[in-house]
Structure 1
Amino acid sequence: MKIKFKMKHMLFSFIVLVFISCENKEENAVVEPYNGIHLPATISIEARDMLSNWTIEGRNAGAQLPKANAPLEVWKKKQDEAKNAAAKSLPKIVEIYKPTIDTVFLGTIRAIDVKPKNYKKSNKVIIYVHGGAFVFYPADVTLLSSIPLADASGLRIITIDYTLSPQAKFNQILDEVIQAYKELLKEYKAENIAIYGDSAGGSITAGAILKMRDLKINLPSSVVLWSAWLDLDEIGDTYFTLKKTDPNLVYANFLENCAEAYAPRTEWKNPYVSPVYGDFSKDFPPTLIQVGSKEIFLSNSIRMFRQLKENNKEVELDVYEGMWHVWQGHYPLPESKMAIKNTKNFIFKHLGQEI
């Protein structure tokens, strides 16, 4: 009888423990939504809320672009649609941060000049090369990136309004960025200039640095790459491991078409086009690489980091749990504020600014 009682007592205790364990798991777990995007418990509530509004089905539906050789009017229509959609989010951020925004020309290159509220004239400046898969957005509608960083840093940010693809190919676009940079060198010392780019803008930024180095142009103090598209070809590991779960990026019929609009496939291993293939035994500025764990470009960032690290360059790889492509532009998110703070601190370190 005692043995039976003990067994019953043990069985009851086991059931209670299992019940409590399941209850705790239910409290702490994040239910996998039916949209195909995992919502990790390890990111902010704000980030989970944002992710919960996206679906893989919606991502795929929006990932149909013209072929690279489609008529320019077809591309222009897509570009206008993207510009108009992006412009809708600007009044709110301008109202929150109250920056001063001007159009300027660096030689013949148009740019958008963002100064934070209560800006104090400085001998230091940040250049921004915006993303958009090489084919989207005039600089005017990329303020979700530049305004918060200008505010955090107190510095002027100049966004280069380069000609988009397919209207221009990589060589023209890089030359426009370099021309704008050389104009700024007339006003600022190279050691007082920082440059950053996101997505395709990160590729253009790093490609322009490599070309400037080869042209013997004085290089900026530091480089920051946000979710950079550093290899145009679909060969990095996470292009495949994250292919079905990246909430934003699709290669076939989207990124692939944009890449071909920017440069012919025969140029995809040209370091000016895919900077991960650059020779980093030569000069390259201190570099901060930020990337999210959800994006297919994660491998691009890891490979770039390894290239710089193995060539004894100063480089930091700053990976963010559960973040998607260019989350830094979603300025209300805690993870965005953290990334912008780290960007500012890295830039300040190399500009000689007090943090």
Structure 2
Amino acid sequence: MAQSLTYYLTLLVLKLKGIKRNFSKDPIDFEKIRKEDIHRPKGKFLRRNNAIDFRVSNTRITEIKRTKTANSLLIFIHGGAFISGPAKHHWDTVQEIAKQTNHIIWMCDYPKAPEHKISDLSKNIDSIYHKALEKYPARQISLLGDSVGGTLIAALTQRLIEKSTELPSKIILVSPVMDATMSNPEIENLENKDPMLSKIGVLSAKKMCAENGDLKNTMLSPLHGSFDKFPKTILFLAERDITFPDQLLAAHKLIEVKADIEVIQGGNMPHIWPFLPVMKEAKTALSQIISRLNQSS
């Protein structure tokens, strides 16, 4: 299928912004990348929609509740290679979801590497979910995450299953990074095609988050854990993405254990394409995410 004009415009913008160049360095310049972070956007949207901030563990949560009748919760775990975020595209995505669903949304601004390691990040994510269970039945909770946000959600789900904790209604993973080792040989075939990520920078960021150099730790690399008993799982996979080969392996593992899984594969799409602004294909994919959120479990 031919791509839209806005697709090519988006690729040009990504190139001009130097995103791939930033992810082609070892060590990765996390301070430079963090300059794009927006911890609480200015403007009318949050003020008009009863947004409040509170903390769970070391995470700042911005809660958005547009209607008094909202009784379902979406926990949004943003990406950013464990070293940065949330960024503008995450807030724009939250805004669209808030407008088009009747969900309460928790935007979770969790601690980052290298100041914090993966066990600390994971404890924060665990605390957020348990706080949600104090307020909402598990059947009314959904989780959405892109890139390492997807990593954190997949790893959380594995821990919940291990501890026989009630699972969320559904999880939606957008270009999740499933293996921090980046050792899949198929990655090399995508290195030059990926307009956003490079193996060098991604590995550097993962090493900053790893403890004792253990990149196979399932908190960082859920691909090395079990996918048995996963809840409804919706995967958005991008073909022009170095993390795509490991996402395919995760999808196959979910299929093998007969999980309730839906795979939406973005032909020729870059990493986290549903969240990219302007692009027609992104708007279509985000509409699909919103549609899944609006479906009852």
C-alpha distance 61-269 of structure 1, shift in aligned 2 (>3 A): closer
Other-structure match for 1:315: 261
Question: What amino acid is the match of 2:8?
Answer: R
C-alpha distance 236-148 of structure 1, shift in aligned 2 (>3 A): farther
Give the TM-score of the pair, scaled to structure 2.
0.88
Deviation at 1:248, TM superposition (A): 0.4
Q: How does 1:131-146 map to 2 (within 5 A)?
A: 131-138=79-86, 142-146=90-94
Other-structure match for 1:241: 189
Does structure 1 residue 256 correspond to structure 2 residue 223? no
Question: What amino acid is the match of 1:122?
Answer: A
Does structure 1 residue 296 correspond to structure 2 residue 239? no
C-alpha distance 274-115 of structure 1, shift in aligned 2 (>3 A): same
Alignment partner for residue 110 of structure 1, among 60, 67, 71? 60
Share of identical aligned residues, percent?
21
C-alpha distance 45-261 of structure 1, shift in aligned 2 (>3 A): same
C-alpha distance 140-113 of structure 1, shift in aligned 2 (>3 A): farther
Decide whether the 8 Å contact of 1:139 with 1:159 is kept in 2: no
Other-structure match for 2:12: 52
Does structure 1 residue 215 correspond to structure 2 residue 174? no
Other-structure match for 1:37: none
Question: What amino acid is the match of 2:244?
Answer: L
C-alpha distance 325-90 of structure 1, shift in aligned 2 (>3 A): farther
SS of residue matched to 2:268: coil
C-alpha distance 162-242 of structure 1, shift in aligned 2 (>3 A): same
Does structure 1 residue 271 correspond to structure 2 residue 231? no
Does structure 1 residue 346 correspond to structure 2 residue 296? no
Higher strand share goes to which structure? Answer: 2
Which stretches in structure 2 are left out of the alignment for 5+ residues? Answer: none
SS of residue matched to 2:113: coil
| Cα distance in 2, alignment partners of residues 323 and 224 from structure 1 | 18
| Cα distance in 2, alignment partners of residues 306 and 198 from structure 1 | 19
Decide whether the 8 Å contact of 1:112 with 1:140 is kept in 2: no
How many pairs were matched up?
Answer: 297
Q: How does 1:147-296 map to 2 (within 5 A)?
A: 147-252=95-200, 254-264=201-211, 266-281=213-228, 283-296=229-242
Alignment partner for residue 85 of structure 1, among 36, 42, 60? 36
> What are the superposed Cα offsets for residues 246-290 of structure 1, whole Å, 9 maximum, x if unpaired?
1000111x1111110111475322322211122123x21110010
C-alpha distance 143-238 of structure 1, shift in aligned 2 (>3 A): farther
| Cα distance in 2, alignment partners of residues 172 and 209 from structure 1 | 16
Higher helix share goes to which structure? Answer: 1
| Cα distance in 1, alignment partners of residues 69 and 25 from structure 2 | 43
